[in-house]
Chains A and B, each alone.
Chain A
């Protein structure tokens, strides 16, 4: 399938016809994005039984809308109550809350919404334009390169996302090891199944996902009495404030554009994510500003930069997922699991095997942002009230619904038990600073890694040196080594300077 104008028009038409999946996705994403600590992947996990029953395109449209809306609404509590709804909105607190304290809450919300929608739209259109080039990747990446790419992806996640690189790497390799459970692909002999027939097909991804993310997070949430603090009294918003906010967006259009691209670039790097993108955008925006002293005092570009970058990340995160099969973050990992369940293997060959999905994802994202424009203003006022939902209602609901969700995939009670076991592992991992996303991505990529490794070893007649036989792979090996060594070297240099 070539990506010409007619194909694009067809994909847009199909995406618009999925409005019935996109609108609830946006509404739900906006509401749950306001809840601090309640991530989009958790919402997707709770709704897994529903998305698994939908057809692939509708499920994707729903998940993407929810994901994008979630990134947008994380800024609402950041602005109103100084609590970021998601990690990507943390930088928005700095100037957003100051604007609220100055009585400019409505202007800050409008800035946040417009920057988010524009940032998301600009970058999803940009990715669409780049996709034909990305599709060529499938022609140059073979088994050997894929083995290195998977290891490189896991290393980047450990370096950038985990607080401790060594622990991040241990998490990722532990995940890959767990992904090797089940019968082998050549002789069908069981490996490390603990005698359970239910594990012969490998570790089921849905219960693992539910345990590592949802159950562990629910157990962590118990430490908070509320998901947030009640919003402070602020002046009632007026239409004049909205118009003023819109005018500010026009004034700072260039700021919105370049910070969105910055978010896109950061999003493409596996493991970097919205948190890093929004802070990098905030810092860069301040660096190039003529009035850097105004940042932190309720300056509009201080809201625009992180929000635009935060939403630029959404399309960036999906690029490595679709192009090389390495999810850029946890929500992308959830989407990859749903796609695998539907029989679609993401990765370099996706553009040849399922082009409607590969290109369609970014078209759906563009359509979701278009739908968001009229929806976001009226919902914002009510969404902020969700911040005060007490934990004693939220936690039981998450636990009960996700344990039920673990059953829905394969209809085994065994999977519910497995979800609880991984919930405990995930909780211990979170509390001892092991990165759960690394573990999950390891489990997810485990069987794929084995397939590529075996294929490479067969080509090399069992010689492990085949992994160093390709120029592209060797470059990737070098980058992998640099990405591990560089942070250690920098840390040592800083420590020596400090001493």
Chain B
């Protein structure tokens, strides 16, 4: 049974293992992909991977000692409340949805929709600002990045209509 310092709850430290777990998992995968390659192809990864594994082992050792002293527990928390975490997941979901609809609706319409939905999700209810930001930002992106710089963003009904209307080369 770990000893617990009287008067204080052990600090949750499970979250501190996520990055090392990712690092170790990735290193193992890297070693697996290079096992049959020539030494020149794997030297770099092996040197870095070995150092990384030693560092993670040291972290685990330190955490093990803290656990034994009862200073920390393996409970994981990122410090946010549930409502904010839900908002975070909602925003990430909206970003993922944006990437999915981008080839179908084009950059301007997708961006306008995602901006409006994200601001609404975060509690913005001032209609002029909501509509203004959702319309002006995609139009600026269209004018600077698509028309001005010529980045080949996915085009949709808006971009095609504007290209036909204004006779923009390469966009219709």
Binding site for B on A (CB under 8 A): 49-50, 53, 166-167, 169-171, 173-174, 176-178, 180, 184-187, 189-193, 218-219, 222-223, 390-393, 395-397, 399-401, 403-404, 407-408, 411, 413, 416-417, 420, 423-425, 427-429, 431-434, 449-450, 453-454, 457-458, 462, 464
Counting chain A CB atoms within 10 Å of each CB, which of B44, B88, B133, B151 scores highest? Answer: B44
Which of chain B's residues has its CB closest to A449's CB? B44
Does B158 touch A at the CB level, under 8 Å?
Answer: no
- B111/A404 in contact, CB under 8 A: yes
Across the interface, which residues of B come within 8 angstroms of A184, CB to CB?
A: 37, 40-42
- The 7 A-B pairs at the shortest CB distance, nearest first, are namely A396-B118, A392-B122, A184-B41, A450-B44, A431-B78, A173-B52, A174-B23
Residues of A contacting B: mostly: helix
Compute the total of residue contacts between A and B using a CB distance below 8 Å: 189
- A166/B59 in contact, CB under 8 A: yes
- B55/A166 in contact, CB under 8 A: yes
Contact partner of B30 among A169, A192, A404, CB < 8 A? A192
Contact partner of B119 among A186, A393, A428, CB < 8 A? A393
Counting chain A CB atoms within 10 Å of each CB, which of B38, B40, B58, B95 scores highest? Answer: B95
- B124/A401 in contact, CB under 8 A: no
- B144/A50 in contact, CB under 8 A: yes
Which of chain B's residues has its CB closest to A176's CB? B48
Contact partner of B107 among A404, A420, A462, CB < 8 A? A404
- B30/A397 in contact, CB under 8 A: no
Across the interface, which residues of A come within 8 angstroms of B151, CB to CB?
A: 49, 53, 407-408, 411
Does B84 touch A at the CB level, under 8 Å?
Answer: yes
Mask of B9-22 contacts with A, CB within 8 angstroms, 1/0: 00000011011101
Across the interface, which residues of A come within 8 angstroms of B84, CB to CB?
A: 222-223
- A403/B99 in contact, CB under 8 A: yes
Per the bound structure, the CA–CA distance linking A429 and B51 in Å amounts to 20
- B99/A417 in contact, CB under 8 A: yes
Contact partner of B133 among A170, A219, A397, A411, CB < 8 A? A397
- B58/A403 in contact, CB under 8 A: no
Within B84-135, which residues are at the interface with A (CB < 8 Å)?
84, 87-88, 91-92, 95-96, 98-99, 102-103, 107, 111, 114-115, 118-119, 122-124, 129, 133
A341 to chain B, nearest CB (A): 14
Per the bound structure, the CA–CA distance linking A190 and B36 in Å amounts to 12
Contact partner of A432 among B19, B38, B55, CB < 8 A? B19
- B114/A400 in contact, CB under 8 A: yes
- A180/B22 in contact, CB under 8 A: no
Across the interface, which residues of B come within 8 angstroms of A390, CB to CB?
A: 124
- B88/A219 in contact, CB under 8 A: yes
Which of chain B's residues has its CB closest to A453's CB? B44
A21 to chain B, nearest CB (A): 15
Does B152 touch A at the CB level, under 8 Å?
Answer: yes
Across the interface, which residues of B come within 8 angstroms of A464, CB to CB?
A: 47
A75 to chain B, nearest CB (A): 29
Per the bound structure, the CA–CA distance linking A462 and B43 in Å amounts to 9
Contact partner of A174 among B37, B45, B52, B96, CB < 8 A? B52
Per the bound structure, the CA–CA distance linking A367 and B23 in Å amounts to 43
Across the interface, which residues of B come within 8 angstroms of A404, CB to CB?
A: 107, 111, 141, 145, 153
Contact partner of B45 among A177, A391, A392, A462, CB < 8 A? A177
Are A170 and B52 CB-contacts (below 8 A) given A393-B124, A400-B115, A417-B99? yes
- B45/A429 in contact, CB under 8 A: no
23 interchain pairs, CB-CB under 8 A:
A49-B151, A173-B23, A174-B23, A184-B37, A189-B41, A190-B33, A191-B45, A218-B91, A222-B80, A395-B122, A399-B95, A404-B153, A408-B145, A408-B153, A411-B152, A420-B95, A425-B22, A428-B18, A428-B19, A431-B78, A432-B19, A458-B40, A462-B39
B53 to chain A, nearest CB (A): 9
Which of chain B's residues has its CB closest to A419's CB? B95
- A222/B26 in contact, CB under 8 A: no
With A169-B55, A403-B99, A454-B44 known, 9 other A-B pairs at CB within 8 A are A173-B51, A177-B45, A187-B40, A189-B37, A191-B42, A392-B119, A411-B153, A432-B18, A433-B16
